[in-house]
Amino acid sequence: MTLEQILFYIFALGGIVSALLVVTRRNPIISAIYLIVNFFCLAGIYLTLHAQFIAVVQILVYAGAIMVLFVFVIMLLNLGDERSLRDGFSWKKIVAGGFGFGVLMELIYIFMIQSDSQTIEMTRATEIGTVEAIGHILFTQFLFPFEVTSLLLTAAIVGAIVLAKKNLD
Amino acid sequence: MVPLQLYLILSAVMFIIGALGVVTRRNAIIVFMSIELMLNSVNLTFVAFSAFLGDATGQVFVFFVMTVAAAEAAVGLAVVIALFRRKQTVNLDEINIMKW
Amino acid sequence: MFAYTPLIVLFPLLGFLVLGLYGSRMKSEKLIGILGSGTVGLSFLFAVLIFFQMLNVEPEQRKQILILFHWISAFTGSSSSFSVNIAYQIDQLSILMTLVVTGVGFLIHVYSIGYMHGDRGFWRFFAFMNLFIFAMLNLVLADNFLLLFLGWEGVGLCSYLLIGFWYEKKFTGDAAKKAFVVNRIGDFGFIIGMLLIFSTFGSLNFTTVFNNASLLTMGNSTILWITLLLFVGAIGKSAQIPLFVWLPDAMAGPTPVSALIHAATMVTAGVYMVARCSILYALSPVTMEIVAVIGVVTAVFAAAIGLVQNDIKKVLAYSTISQLGYMFLAMGVGAFSAGIFHLMTHAFFKALLFLGSGAVIHAMHDEQDMRKMGGLKEYLPITYWTFLLGALAISGIPPFAGFFSKDEILWKTFNSEQGSWILWLLGIFGAAMTAFYIFRLVILTFEGKKRFDHHLHPHEAPKTMTGALIILAGLSVVGGFVGIPHWSGIEHWLDPVFSPAQYKLMSGEHSGGIMEYMLMAVSVGIAAAGIYIARWIYLRRIEIVASIQHRYPRIYRLLLNKYYVDEMYDATIVEPAIKTSEEILWKIVDVALIDGIVNGSAKVIGAIAQTFRKIQTGVAQSYAIVFIGGILFVITWLLLK
């Protein structure tokens, strides 16, 4: 068991557990905290894949900005515990659980059994994961989407302001 | 050497957990968080393939996904705020005007 | 000349169109009358011209067919096809019928100018009469069954229109409906007969069918059915038992209508049809027997009813039914030309009798009950004398027309292979009754004591009416001479038409010799006896009538009420039909079933929709569950491929 594998398993386990906890907690703040934990675990996994830039951006953007926004909104709305999580056994949950489980099993089947027996090696991962490499192709090959993204963000800002402001009439 | 399949299975598990969260929970904020979970699982898939196939395109795509997720989270939360102003609740069961 | 045949049919059609479209705006009755009669008169003229041309050519060349246009042309199968033309066939039989129809028709049209004077629907009357002549001419001149049927239906329609001419009165509408419905029953048989003809011979054309038929052997069962079904149509149209009930009621129409349609022309369509299909009937001895029996039974049956009726027109109506029975008797024993001969003479004297009765009714200000008449002969001399001639003709007194034709029928009934002395005896019995009832009518109406109200002041009819009476009386006198036995111009004239049938029947002329003259004497004697008894009872000993009524009340009432046939039909057919329609067809089939299905299917759709709308819960998460389910399905399907 190499260090790489051990780290992977730790972070993977952490990710799954924290994901489960996100989905099942009553208190939204607790859910948010566990989601942040999940993001950190994911960042760790990205690092095992030699994707440095993405890992850092993950923490900066997701854990640092988006989750902050979530927490702000939760506190703003002063949401309490979600009542009646107890009355769990509705048909909806069972059916949904069944469907989800089925899809999961099928996906696992596809990944494990259907794929080629030979394992793929990570040959160039270290080269492409650096900031330099990403930046290079981002500003040459994908320059246009990069610029358009700025428009998208502008639209989001305007939308968010319009939707959330108090009506002044 | 962690084989590719394990990364993919991890991603699938997180995705399903997120999907179940979307479908099951009644609090709108938690539903949003589950959606973020799903998006992240997809990001993981992209990065895994990008690393194993040696193509940086995957990671660039993840970059864009994150951007879009941020925008979507912002607008979505704005909607939740507006909704809360109207109905004083974020319980999705009570938001059913489009009922039969 | 033959090429002008379509004109004969065209003139009355033009008359109908012009009068129908513009008649209501024409103010002058004279104009309408001239137009209406003129068209028929022109048709008669052309018919006469064609007749004379026919006289000048050889008998074999006298038959001609003129095709106006192709009416129906359809392929029905691999090698068969169904095609019918509007085409007219001029031969000896059809020209004879045409002359009768247009000639008598013309006289009746002229008569109607006087009779219908002052009526609000004057123009409508002449329009319908012209339409009738058009349809009747199509019937007699057609060269195929379908065109004949077109005319057949057309005259039925005009009969309905004209019986119900005074539609403001309810019972005329009922009579018209009754005529149409009873006719329809007969037409049903006719249509099936036509279908059988087409399926057997592959064509509806007379020439094709009859040529192929003459190759068949006697006793063919298909031909039996064909002839039987066609005869059903004739029963309806020509008022034989059991479909005669419409004709007495049809007397509700104006008298010229009764004269033209219900005496001279329409009712003879059945006889014409049987004559035209003589070869088919000759091939089926069973049907011939049935025709003869029905004919003679109807003749006696109707004559008996006519003995006791009190309405002048009803007596004549039953007389018509009875005389039509004689014509069918002739057809049934194979004496086709005798039947047609009687058709012709009957047209003359029956039209005369009806028109004469019309003059009487006109003079008596619409009184039709004979018990309120009497002694009219000094007020209506022309009417009386012409009526008397007609009465003598129908009784079969020589040398008037009816004698020759009726005697010919009776002789052939006795003599031919298909006839028998029983039928002859019944025929003689009917002849006796005929003479009796017609002279009862004459005496009650014209002679004896006056039983009418003095204020009435009956006066003779105008010249338009009496002119027609005189001409018809003349024809009733001389019309019979074309059929003098052993010279028999009419039989020779019609011989080419009926020769295929006569060949099949192998009717040799048992030359009658003494037998023939003896029977002739018997029939004349019977007729004379009938007249004498009638005069004796009604002029001298009228109290005998009352005492007979007293002694045999049930028989008297049976006859007076027409054997209760109408009541029987009402109870057995009409009432059940009404009941079925109401209870079953309306309440169950229409309301419950059909409305139920239509409304029910709408309700079912509504119910289904009510169930399905519950899918729209409005909660987005339920939709998401369905998404996941869909993903599961797609992945499974792709895996399994």
Residue C70, helix vs strand vs coil: strand
In this predicted structure, the answer to whether residue B33 has a pLDDT above a threshold of 90 is yes
d(CA C359, CA C339): 29
Which subunits sit against B, judged by 3+ Cβ pairs under 8 A? A, C
| B93/C616 Cβ within 8 A | no
Q: Give residue B100's pLDDT.
A: 67
Which subunits sit against A, judged by 3+ Cβ pairs under 8 A? B, C
Kindly report the length of chain A.
169
Q: Give residue A116's pLDDT.
A: 65
B-chain residues near A120 (CB < 8 A): 4, 52-53
Of B23, B24, B99, Cβ closest to residue C618: B99
| A99/C628 Cβ within 8 A | yes
| B22/C621 Cβ within 8 A | yes
Q: Give residue A58's pLDDT.
A: 94
d(CA A20, CA C46): 111
What are the per-10-residue average pLDDT scores of chain C (641 residues)? Answer: 82 90 82 89 91 81 79 72 83 89 91 87 91 93 91 92 88 88 91 91 86 79 89 89 87 89 81 90 88 91 88 91 92 88 90 90 82 81 88 87 86 78 88 90 83 73 80 82 69 77 67 76 87 82 76 78 79 82 77 84 91 80 89 91 83
| A4/B77 Cβ within 8 A | no
B29 shares contact with chain A (CB less than 8 Å): yes
d(CA A107, CA A105): 5
Q: Give residue A61's pLDDT.
A: 93
Asked whether the beta carbons of C430 and C322 are under 8 A apart, the reply is yes
C-chain residues near A115 (CB < 8 A): none
Q: Give residue A71's pLDDT.
A: 94
Most C CBs within 10 Å: which of A23, A99, A101, as the mutation test of the C interface? A99
Residue A112, min C-alpha distance to chain C (Å): 14
Structure tokens at A56: 């850092």
Binding-face residues of A in 42-71 toward B, CB within 8 A: 42, 45-46, 48-51, 53-54, 57-58, 61-62, 65-66, 69-70
Q: Give residue A168's pLDDT.
A: 64
Q: Give residue C527's pLDDT.
A: 87
A-chain residues near B5 (CB < 8 A): 111-112, 115
- Quote the Cα angle for C233-C279-C92, to 5°: 90
B-chain residues near C620 (CB < 8 A): 92
Residue B69, min C-alpha distance to chain C (Å): 19
The reported pTM is 0.70
C632 shares contact with chain A (CB less than 8 Å): yes
A-chain residues near B8 (CB < 8 A): 107, 111
Nearest alpha carbon to residue C161 among C257, C246, C97, C239: C257
Q: Give residue C512's pLDDT.
A: 63
Cβ–Cβ pairs < 8 A, chains A and B: 220
Q: Give residue C508's pLDDT.
A: 57
Q: Give residue A85's pLDDT.
A: 53
What are the per-10-residue average pLDDT scores of chain A (169 residues)? Answer: 89 96 91 95 94 94 93 86 62 86 90 69 80 91 94 94 78
Structure tokens at C260: 């033209």
Nearest CA in chain C to A95: C625
Number of Cβ within a 10 Å radius of residue A106: 17
Most A CBs within 10 Å: which of B11, B25, B45, B96, as the mutation test of the A interface? B25
Which subunits sit against C, judged by 3+ Cβ pairs under 8 A? A, B
Residue C615 CB burial class (10 angstroms; 0-12, 13-18, ≥19):
exposed
Of C625, C629, C639, Cβ closest to residue A106: C639
Nearest CA in chain B to A23: B21
A-chain residues near B1 (CB < 8 A): 2, 4-5, 119, 121-122
Which runs of consecutive H residues, i.e. helices, occur in C238-268? Answer: 246-249, 255-259
Of A99, A102, A106, Cβ closest to residue C625: A99
| B75/A156 Cβ within 8 A | yes
| A110/C632 Cβ within 8 A | no
Q: Give residue C382's pLDDT.
A: 86
Q: Give residue C446's pLDDT.
A: 85
Q: Give residue B25's pLDDT.
A: 87
d(CA C247, CA C257): 12
Q: Cα B86 to the chain's mean position, in Å? A: 26
Contacts from B21-26 at CB under 8 Å and sequence distance 24+?
B21/A22, B21/A23, B22/C621, B22/C624, B23/A92, B23/A96, B23/A100, B23/C621, B23/C624, B23/C625, B23/C628, B24/A23, B24/A92, B24/A93, B24/A96, B24/C621, B25/A23, B25/A82, B26/A82, B26/B91, B26/B92, B26/B93
- Quote the Cα angle for C504-C505-C509, to 5°: 125
CB neighbour list of residue B95: distance below 8 Å, 6 or more residues apart: B83, B87, B89, C618, C619
Most C CBs within 10 Å: which of A92, A94, A103, as the mutation test of the C interface? A103
C629 shares contact with chain A (CB less than 8 Å): yes
H/E element, C88: strand C81-90
| A152/B71 Cβ within 8 A | yes
